[in-house]
Amino acid sequence: MRIYSLLFFSRLALAATEIKRSTRADLVFHRDATRSQLVEHKYIVMLKSSADSLEISTKYDATSVYNTTLNGYDESAGEGTCIYVLDTGIFVNDLEFEGRVTFVKELSSDGVSDDTVGHGTSVAAWAASKTYGTSKKAKLLAVKVVGGNGEIGDSSTGWIFIGQDYISRQEECPAGILVNMSVGTQPPMQSMNDAARALIEAGLFVGVAAGNFNEDASNRSPGAEPLVCTVGASDSFNNRADFSNFGELMDIYAPGKYVGTIDRFGAPISSSGTSLASPYVVGLAANLMALEGNPGPIAMCQRLQELGVEEILGNMPNGTINILANNMAATN
């Protein structure tokens, strides 16, 4: 049984009992970068709303992340970069995004070119909104792979679409192109791993949420692909968040518990999950591309590690990298 999930749980909770097999297109063919073919079953999962609090978080103060400003930024702020967000879509007209969002492709089951769930808007805001984002001038490209009813089909299609679409966008994204995916599958899905790897080999930085199951990140895709930059969540006390995944495939940790963002209507909310940690890091990568140039996706993940703070996080299992992302906006 394969489980698809959105990797935060402020507004959404996984209804694990509602898993079912697609009644049509049960077998989906994928072609990866090496032109081999895979055949995999297609599954969907139903999500339901939770009743978590929507108050703005006060858990992070201005110096909570190793004496750095949580939402501070260099004035270049990712200008000239573009971030694909594979998710539930983005509320394009929200003032927080200042007209920097393009709804590129609808690939979900509902056929609606809008975020009717809220997850994608919250994720995008943590990457590039004017108030909460770490990359406040980056452009956002919405690729919707999750429907408004919470159903997710084969999100590998989204990766494959980006592999075709990004070529036409290089002029509008001269500083670099990045991808964030805060949706995952369990157990791992080889076609998704292969599609993510193909984007990295094409030169796109790919950041993914590690997962919220307090288990080894290798149990999920696309985090099971070694070349992606896999991001776990930390809390305001500089511990690994109690829900965050871990393991040898982890690359870095970032704030992801009780962080401020927006819902699909633009209202401020507090959210938790590795879904938020990943876009935080992708936003930092966009900043570095604008500021230092684009060294390539693998080197960029290594650069983020180099700039991060080592051995600061508690509650860290043996064999897991202990690096907290640093946005370099010091408040000394």
Point out the residues that are catalytic.
87, 119, 275
User: How far, in Å, CA of 308 to CA of 323, rounded?
Assistant: 6
In degrees rounded to 5, what are phi and psi of residue 324? -105, 130
Beta-strand relationship, 81-87 and 183-186: unpaired
Other Cβ atoms within 10 Å of 27 Cβ, number: 9
Beta-strand relationship, 309-310 and 323-324: antiparallel
Distances in Å between the Cα of 161 and the Cα atoms of 143, 195, 218 are: 9, 10, 25
Distances in Å between the Cα of 60 and the Cα atoms of 53, 134, 309 are: 16, 15, 17
Other Cβ atoms within 10 Å of 210 Cβ, number: 31
Q: Is 286 helix (H, G, I), strand (E, B) or coil?
A: helix
Distances in Å between the Cα of 304 and the Cα atoms of 59, 92, 133, 261, 274 are: 24, 29, 17, 23, 17
User: How far, in Å, CA of 307 to CA of 300, rounded?
Assistant: 11
* Helix locations, 293-328, DSSP H: 297-307
Residues linked to residue 37 through DSSP beta bridges, in sequence order: 31
Would you call 64 exposed, middle or buried from its count of C-beta atoms within 10 A (0-12, 13-18, 19+)?
middle
